[in-house]
Structure 1
Amino acid sequence: MESAVLNLALNARDAMPGGGRLTIELGNKVLDEAYARHHAEVTPGDYAMVAVSDTGHGMTSDVVARVFEPFFTTKPDGKGTGLGLAMVFGFVKQSGGHVKIYSEPGEGTSVKLYLPRAIGAAAVACQRTGSPVELPRGSATVLVVEDEAAVREIACAILADLGYRVLEAADGEEALRVFGANTAAIDLLLTDVVLPGKVRGRELAERVQALRPQVRVVFMSGYTENSIVHHGRLDDGVQLIGKPFKREQLARKVAQVLGTTTVPAAEAGNVVALRLKRDV
């Protein structure tokens, strides 16, 4: 674990040659069956998450697809072996875990390591009991904006099953067109923070609310909430749900923002934020 976090921190440092912010977080997460259906290597269950996020130059999707390959590196000759992330991948896989990378050019990178939670006496005492929790339902119209098709499909399916009318778009420009055709009907905008194209999530929300101020907004992001706020992509206090999310989390967040239910604040994870100077 120490070597894995160190490798991720070194990569973050190299991605921020002019300085930046490195955020390391710990948290308990659940990867549910809906997520596992789209990630064949994942076993649904409880995981301990370690997330390492930076404000560096980020990566394109084709680079992200290869970062765990042995000897693959984007660093100049003599600056990297290409084995650091391969080691991280191997460590997580042999531990029965899962790795997820969220990165966009110019937006930084967040690497999440999910390791199966140990089941001991304390965990057994806290196991869920009783009947399933009944989730809040609604009939409002929700516009879901997400460029990753699998995530968009899951979000739309959950909301539709809960009674909401769902519209969808793959990027900001398409979302504006959908909103223009359904302006009076849309009650809530559920959008990814980092979208491809010219219109990012924050700008989309601002333009939608400028035309119809009563529209509520919930942001989604694969980056952790602390890295999103600390890195200045969103203001503190905005409504944000992290990916991957459970059915219950999405149901309660949407109901909360629409004002149809109250949701107790989630317990915060452990966060360490470091601002790096150029000479670090």
Structure 2
Amino acid sequence: MEAPNQQPETILVVDGDVITRTVIADYLRQCGYRVIEAVNAWEAEQALNQEGFDVDIILSDVDLPGEMNGFQLASWVRQNMPDVKVILSSAVERTASAAGDLCEEGPHLAKPYDPATVVDHIKRLRGGSDRS
């Protein structure tokens, strides 16, 4: 049973495609998660560096606009915030598979993904807690 004062887990959704980002962010909110959205890795880093702001999981596309892609963002997170879990996704199956190989946690998602599959990955990363 969840403690009454416990905050919902926070997920940072990073995707340059506004439709994809908005759809999955809205779905995750409906499942009870606190969601922050970022267009690129720079915005993601800004959100992650805000004081008093804890992100539990990052769901990021591999192909991000800007100077840093999703692989580089995941590497930066592992070096600077090892407690934050990362799920990488890609529209290209081969890239999604490589993302899974590079992520220490192992999960990877090929786009278009089913929102329920995303929630399943998040639950597995967080030890199976049920939020839906």
Q: Which has the larger radius of gyration?
A: 1
- State the distance in 2 between where 1:240 and 1:183 align: 29
Identity, in percent, stands at 27
Query: Equivalent residue for 2:127?
Result: 259
Residues 1:192 and 1:229: Cα distance change in structure 2 (over 3 Å): closer
Q: Partner of 2:59 in structure 1?
A: 190
* Residue matched to 1:235: 101
Give the distance between the partners of 1:236 and 1:202, measured in 2 at CA. 8
- Mapped contact 2:62–2:70 kept (Cα < 8 A): yes
Partner of 2:80: 211
Quote the residue 1:177 is aligned against: 46
Q: Deviations over 1:23-55 (max 9, x none)?
A: xxxxxxxxxxxxxxxxxxxxxxxxxxxxxxxxx
Q: CA deviation at 1:247?
A: 2.5
Considering fraction of residues, name the structure with more helix. Answer: 2
Counterpart residue identity of residue 250, structure 1: V
Q: Following TM superposition, by how much is the alpha carbon of 1:181 offset from its aligned partner in structure 2, in angstroms?
A: 1.2
**Cα distance between partner residues in 2 of 1:172 and 1:206:** 11
- Listed as ranges, the gaps of 5+ residues in structure 1 are 1-137, 262-280
Whole-Å separation in 2 of the counterparts to 1:247 and 1:197: 26
Letter in 2 for 1:157: D
Kindly state the Cα deviation for residue 152 of structure 1 after the two structures are TM-superposed: 0.1
Alpha-carbon offset, residue 259 of structure 1: 1.5
Residues 208, 183 of structure 1: CA spacing in aligned structure 2 closer, same or farther, 3 A cutoff?
A: farther
Amino acid aligned to 1:254: I
**Is there any run of 5+ residues in structure 2 with no aligned partner, and where?**
1-6
RMSD: 2.3
Letter in 2 for 1:152: R
Q: How does 1:35-184 map to 2 (within 5 A)?
A: 139-181=8-50, 184=53
Answer whether contact 2:89 2:110 (CA < 8 A) is retained: yes
Displacement of 1:199: 0.9
Structure 1 segments, 4+ long, off by >4 Å, are: none
AA partner of residue 202 (structure 1): F
TM-score with structure 1 setting the length: 0.40
Give per-residue Cα distances to partners, 1:50-96, cap 9 Å, x unaligned.
xxxxxxxxxxxxxxxxxxxxxxxxxxxxxxxxxxxxxxxxxxxxxxx
Please state how far the C-alpha of 1:235 moved relative to its aligned partner. 2.5
Report how many residues are paired.
122
Q: What is the alpha-carbon distance in structure 2 between the residues aligned to residue 163 and residue 146 of structure 1?
A: 20
Residue 150 to residue 214, structure 1, CA distance change in 2 (3 Å): same
Residue 208 of structure 1 and its aligned partner are, at CA, apart by 1.8
* CA distance in 1 between partners of 2:23 and 2:82 (Å): 27
TM-score (norm: length of structure 2): 0.81
Contact 2:96 2:110 in 1 (8 A): no
